[in-house]
Amino acid sequence: MPPMKIFAFIWIVFYWFYPATAPAQESATVRVHGAVSIAQPVAEAARVLRAERDLEVRMMTSGGSPAGIASLGEGWTNVALSTRPVTGEERAAAPTVAFYETLIGAQAIALIVSKDVWKGGVHSLTPEQVRGIFEEHLTNWKQVGGPDLKINVYMSAPGRGMWEMLTQWLYGEARKAPVGMKYPAIDGCDEIRSAVQSWPGSFSQIPCSFVDNTEIFALGIRDKDGNAIEPNTDTFIRGTYPLCRKLLMITNDRPSLNTKVLIDFMLSERGQKMVKDVALLPLADITPH
């Protein structure tokens, strides 16, 4: 099964219910709430810990990072999964909670083009050019210095992780992205890769680990000084590549008891392999050696 589909059926809700009388406490059950991007490897870790340690992990992903952090702040959740740090506003809303962030990896996507576009001279784009393509103002590669080819755009479905990440970068907030675009929405990395390989003039996005630079090519993103920032380990480590975001497991103070068991597992060699297996970046790819 393709990596990004491993838990497409995800345990979006493992067995989730809110207790009737009291917020979540440390027990044999660890309650987890937050971003679906991180839920995939955590779901697999939960399956293993249940079998090996009799540890129950109950997960929910509705509402993403903000809902997970709010749930932690209100005491209903032991672990929030987030693709960004806790904001000052969120900390102020829960002044008694000592939000503690543990980095378990990162999510990075590349803007990709087909071989004919790459060979035609398009190796990088500015954010403004990407926005122009996304909004269908730019429709031919010659408008950005490339070959005389129609730009065939393939994007992941609105609201999904890669779409959200791209639109948040382009517009500041995903909700500000225009709707009603006519380009095909494709889910599944193998499907995206196949479409870009098959159709001339193709443009899309895909997790960086799927780029081979033989049939599909990753574009650099030009900064305001005109320098192309390539998606690679160096720019991930330095934090300069804009389409790379941290994956955090957030707790109330340092992890302890069963919460620590779960987080320590995610930091272990087995847990980091689970991160990598779903096309996310393990810590080894984003931290200095």
Summarised one tens digit per residue, pLDDT across range 82-109 is: 999 999 999 999 999 999 999 999 999 9
Mean pLDDT of the chain: 88
101 and 113 in a single domain? The answer is no
Structural domain count of the chain: 2
pLDDT of residue 159: 65
- Asked if pLDDT for residue 39 goes beyond 50, the answer is yes
Summarize the confidence of residues 224-245 as an average pLDDT.
93
pLDDT confidence bin for 56, thresholds 50/70/90: very high
Q: Are residues 124 and 211 in the same domain?
A: yes
Shared-domain flag, residues 128 and 175: yes
> Which percentage of the chain shows pLDDT scores above 70?
89
This prediction has a pTM of 0.83
Q: Are residues 253 and 220 in the same domain?
A: no
257 and 224 assigned to the same domain:
no
Domain extent at residue 42: 3-106+245-285
Q: How wide is the angle at C-alpha 253 spanned by C-alphas 280 and 266, nearest 5°?
A: 25
Residue type, 27: S
Per the CB < 8 A criterion, the answer to whether 40 and 6 are in contact is yes
- Taking only the tens place, the pLDDT of each residue in 116-150 is 999 999 999 999 999 999 888 999 999 999 999 99
* Same-domain pairing of 165 and 271: no
Q: What is the CATH number of the domain that holds 8?
A: 3.40.190.10
Instruction: Provide the 8-state DSSP code for 176.
Output: G
140 token code pair: 């031919």
Residues 102 and 113 in one domain: no
> In terms of domains, do 232 and 258 share one?
no
Q: Are 267 and 283 in contact (CB under 8 A)?
A: yes
18 and 75 fall within a common domain: yes
DSSP three-state, residue 24: coil
- Let me know: does 252 contact 91? Beta carbons within 8 Å: no
Per-residue confidence band for 180, with pLDDT thresholds at 50, 70 and 90:
low
- H or E segment and range at residue 46: helix 36-53
Same domain, 17 and 85: yes
Q: Is the pLDDT of residue 274 over 80?
A: yes
User: Over 50: is that where the pLDDT of 12 sits?
Assistant: no
Same domain flag for 73 and 115:
no
Per cent of the chain over pLDDT 90 is 70
The answer to whether residues 249 and 174 belong to one domain is: no
User: 249: which 2 tokens?
Assistant: 């497991």
